[in-house]
């Protein structure tokens, strides 16, 4: 589906709302929206399909597709890649810089949505919602005893925009909040009452451990068998960040052994590594797991915000300007101009 003539911008994400679409078209952009098959994302498109869709495009609003150096090299007219989301581990940032492209993220658009989701998973797992409903559907209305979130110790690994949004929400639960981050902000701690601590101390003391860190080589499988063994017996793990932060096979083993009290998962290692597919299936089958399909950011309101931000980022670059502060992760225009 395309619009009137103009600067070609391709959108390969679902749920791109009419308001953001109309705004983008009003900025002299010829918009083409990819018709994805049911149950598929742009991450399922191979390089040949992406090259065909993006031929002649100067802007691309992308979801989960892998943006490789080879793909960028094959698309010389593409000037800006705008990620509708905040993660960019699937983008070859160095290649984008070397080829003079701009890569931007829709930071700030989905903070509230993901933070709500994280706290919702804490409550759902702690109060055993899944087990209770599954039992009721079988005719067993026995009351299972869960646990309060109120008054508990919650450990947050990472304290970016979403982590801080979670802190605000937890203030209403009288929770003690521990934080492990490479960049502690003492003024923020004084204002909010959070306590910075080591990863080891956080794991040992927390009733809930919630992940809000980016996926990097340093954080891949940050939560593995060793980290899980250090967690408080009966603790609950929440991951709404990136699947690769947790070694899911080790998590499944800890749930089956009873060491952990449950897990709330919006992301899985199998999203980027199909070798973990059977592990994901085991997690989904476990009664103490509440799972969603990477849906934490996907509210009507959150998508509307990120759609508009992603569109504005594209137009800013096409107009010769800069993405808004905090939203540019690579600007090859600077690199190539300096050579």
- 3-class SS letters over 122-186: HHHHHCCHHHHHHHHHCCCCCCCCCCCCCCCEEEEECCCHHHHHHHHHHHHHCCEEEEECCCCCH
Which strands sit side by side in the sheet containing 7-11, from one edge to the other? 29-33, 7-11, 59-62, 80-83, 102-105, 328-331
Q: Which of 14, 66, 90, 294 is catalytic?
A: 294
| Tokens describing residue 176 | 């003690």
- What is the phi/psi pair of residue 104, to 5°? -130, 155
Query: What's residue 5's pLDDT?
Result: 65
pLDDT 10s per residue in the chain (339 long)? 444 468 999 999 999 999 999 999 999 999 999 999 888 899 999 999 999 999 999 999 999 999 999 999 999 999 999 999 988 989 999 999 999 999 999 999 999 999 999 999 999 999 999 999 999 999 999 999 999 999 999 999 999 999 999 999 999 999 999 999 999 999 999 999 999 999 999 999 999 999 999 999 999 999 999 999 999 999 999 999 999 999 999 999 999 999 999 999 999 999 989 999 999 999 999 999 999 999 999 999 999 999 999 999 999 999 999 998 899 999 999 754 433
286 within 8 A of 265, measured Cβ to Cβ: no
Active site residue 183: no
Record the pTM. Answer: 0.89
Bridge partner residues of 211 (DSSP): 157, 239
Query: What's residue 335's pLDDT?
Result: 58
CA distance linking residue 199 with residue 327, whole number of Å: 28
Query: What's residue 40's pLDDT?
Result: 87
Residue 120, CA distances (Å) to 24, 97, 272, 285 in order: 34, 39, 25, 20
Domains of the chain (ranges plus CATH)?
7-109+299-338 (3.40.50.720), 111-291 (3.40.50.720)
Active site residue 294: yes
> Which residues are CB-neighbours of 213 under 8 A, at least 6 positions away?
157, 158, 219, 222, 241, 242, 245
Q: Which of 32, 247, 271, 312 is catalytic?
A: 271
Query: What's residue 1's pLDDT?
Result: 47
Q: Which of 97, 117, 128, 242 is catalytic?
A: 242
Question: Exposed, middle or buried: residue 93 (CB in 10 Å: 0-12, 13-18, 19+)?
Answer: middle
Active site residue 271: yes
């Amino acid at each position: 589906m395309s619009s009137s003539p103009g600067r070609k911008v391709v959108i390969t994400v679902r749920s791109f709302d009419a308001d953001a679409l109309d705004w983008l078209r009003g900025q002299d952009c010829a918009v083409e929206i990819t018709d994805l098959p049911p149950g598929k994302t742009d991450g399922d498109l191979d390089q040949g399909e992406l090259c065909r869709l993006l031929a002649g495009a100067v802007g691309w609003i992308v979801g989960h597709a892998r943006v490789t150096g080879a793909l960028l090299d094959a698309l010389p007219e593409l000037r800006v890649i705008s990620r509708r989301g905040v993660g960019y581990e699937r983008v070859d940032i160095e290649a984008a810089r070397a080829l003079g492209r701009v890569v931007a993220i829709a930071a700030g658009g989905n903070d509230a949505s993901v933070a709500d989701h994280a706290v919702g998973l804490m409550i759902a797992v702690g109060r055993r919602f899944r087990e209770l409903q599954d039992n009721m559907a079988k005719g067993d209305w026995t009351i299972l005893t869960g646990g309060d979130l109120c008054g508990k110790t919650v450990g947050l690994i990472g304290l970016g925009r979403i982590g801080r949004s979670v802190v605000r929400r937890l203030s209403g639960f009288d929770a003690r909040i521990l934080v492990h981050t490479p960049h502690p902000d003492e003024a923020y701690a004084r204002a909010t009452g959070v306590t910075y601590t080591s990863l080891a101390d956080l794991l040992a003391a927390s009733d809930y451990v919630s992940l809000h860190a980016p996926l990097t080589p340093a954080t891949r499988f940050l939560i593995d068998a060793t980290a899980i063994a250090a967690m408080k017996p009966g603790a609950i793990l929440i991951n709404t960040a990136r699947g690769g932060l947790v070694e899911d096979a080790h998590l499944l083993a800890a749930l089956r052994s009873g060491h952990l009290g449950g897990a709330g998962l919006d992301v899985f290692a199998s999203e980027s590594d199909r070798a973990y597919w059977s592990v994901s299936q085991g997690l989904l089958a476990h009664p103490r797991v509440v799972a969603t399909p990477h849906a934490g950011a996907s509210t009507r309101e959150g998508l509307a915000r990120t759609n508009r931000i992603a569109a504005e980022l594209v137009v800013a670059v096409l107009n010769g300007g800069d993405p808004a502060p905090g939203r540019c992760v690579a600007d090859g225009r600077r690199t190539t101009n300096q050579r």
